[in-house]
């Protein structure tokens, strides 16, 4: 995939509209933004690149799901304030994203100035890819930079509409996402491993379909492991089994065996007598002896050590999904052990999918120890599924 890059756009001295993804968990309070600012920090290289070239920088993003109506609780100013701290320079947060007042404000910007438009999703035209809305946004600038990989799987006005009106290129973040994920799929150093976790098999079906024939190793953890263990004939207590995915799990195990792919399933798990952060009883048990009525909450210590050891023998690792109920502290050990084991492995490319996996890596302070941590949850999944992302397809080829 060869798309036009920022260096090929010719932005010096121009007004540049940049689609970023500043969709942080604002519901936790503005004081918590600093704890969840990975997406802001990931876009800093693009913004700094434009500042150095004396551009007037107009940032646009969505926040939450206001569904086409103004919601004062979802205004972007607190995010803009945090961005200003990270950049060490002012960021003007505007009260709208289109209209005469916005046009005048942008026209009055000087070289190196940065402004952040108001929440794009305050307008229904954003999610419906209304061309009039896209044209109004495009009229603010000379060119457009797509640096919001996390929404590249959405065909919205700010992802596919604006490129119909302006010269467009990938930002540095989007370029890194496309290159890192693409290289891991197309030309990985071998052995290639997929470390799959998270809650459901159904969330990863298309990823497994696209990856399976390319893999040397497949590691299963998290809620996914419950269905795979059940498919392998193991007891899973009261844990939720995706009954409609059992045949798929059996088929994956069969095809992997036929293809010489090593599948790693948990040999021991952490089980609790209730699905709770503080259950009355917790035990580590063999996957041959999970008690009736108990819940599988995490992979066990032996499995975590075994996974970490086997992954160290691989050259490329694609990781998507925690190994247990990571958000409950007592059941985060498996994820911590595996993450720590693969962090900064010499000569190993580690590509971490977005969403809860990226949050886990960030919480563990291991962001800089991985080769690439994606900012896109759904977007990275769809990319790994082999699907075309509309926001990437809209960027001209190089």
* Known catalytic residue at 200: yes
* Known catalytic residue at 324: no
- CB-based contacts of 347: which residues, under 8 Å, 6+ apart? 315
* Known catalytic residue at 378: yes
Structure tokens at 69: 């109506």
Q: How do strand 143-146 and strand 15-19 relate by DSSP bridges?
A: parallel
Given the residues 222, 355, 377, 391, select the one marked as catalytic. 355
In whole angstroms, give the CA distance from residue 80 to residue 221.
37
* Known catalytic residue at 39: yes
CB atoms within 10 A of CB 341: 16
In whole angstroms, give the CA distance from residue 329 to residue 102.
46
Given the residues 3, 19, 39, 336, select the one marked as catalytic. 39
ω into 148 cis (within 30 of 0):
no
Given the residues 95, 200, 214, 369, select the one marked as catalytic. 200
Active-site residues: which are they?
A: 39, 200, 355, 378
């Amino acid at each position: 995939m060869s798309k036009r890059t920022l260096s090929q756009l010719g932005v010096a001295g121009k007004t540049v509209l940049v689609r970023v993804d500043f969709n942080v968990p604002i519901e936790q309070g503005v004081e918590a933004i600093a704890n969840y600012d990975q997406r802001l920090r990931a876009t800093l290289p693009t913004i700094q690149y434009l500042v150095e070239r004396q551009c007037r920088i107009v940032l646009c993003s969505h926040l939450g799901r206001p569904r086409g109506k103004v919601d004062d609780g979802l205004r972007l100013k607190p995010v803009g304030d945090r961005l200003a701290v990270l950049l060490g320079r002012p960021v003007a947060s505007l009260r709208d994203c289109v209209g005469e007042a916005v046009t005048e404000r942008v026209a009055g910007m000087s070289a190196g100035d940065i402004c952040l438009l108001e929440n794009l999703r305050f307008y229904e035209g954003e999610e419906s890819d209304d061309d009039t809305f896209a044209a109004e946004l495009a009229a603010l600038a000379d060119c457009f930079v797509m640096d919001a990989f996390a929404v590249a799987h959405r065909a919205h006005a700010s992802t596919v509409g604006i490129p119909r009106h302006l010269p467009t290129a990938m930002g540095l973040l989007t370029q890194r996402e496309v290159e890192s994920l693409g290289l891991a799929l197309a030309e990985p150093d071998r052995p290639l491993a997929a470390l799959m976790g998270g809650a459901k098999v159904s969330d990863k079906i298309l990823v497994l379909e696209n990856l399976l024939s390319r893999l040397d190793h497949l590691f299963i953890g998290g809620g996914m492991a419950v269905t795979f263990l059940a498919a392998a004939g193991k007891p899973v207590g009261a844990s939720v089994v995706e009954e409609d995915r059992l045949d798929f799990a059996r088929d994956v195990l069969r095809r992997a065996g036929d293809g010489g792919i090593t599948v790693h399933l948990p040999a021991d798990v952490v089980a609790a007598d209730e699905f709770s952060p503080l259950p009355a009883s917790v035990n580590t048990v063999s996957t041959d002896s999970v008690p009736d009525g108990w819940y599988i909450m995490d992979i066990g210590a032996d499995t975590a050590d075994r996974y970490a050891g086997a992954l160290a023998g691989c050259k490329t690792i694609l990781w998507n999904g925690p190994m247990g109920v990571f958000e409950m502290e007592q059941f985060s050990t498996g994820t911590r052990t595996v993450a720590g084991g693969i962090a900064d492995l010499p000569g190993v490319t580690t590509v971490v999918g977005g969403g809860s996996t990226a949050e886990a890596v960030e919480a563990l302070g291991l962001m800089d120890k991985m080769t690439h941590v994606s900012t896109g949850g759904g977007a990275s999944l769809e990319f790994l599924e082999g699907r075309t992302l509309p926001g990437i397809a809209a960027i001209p080829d190089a």
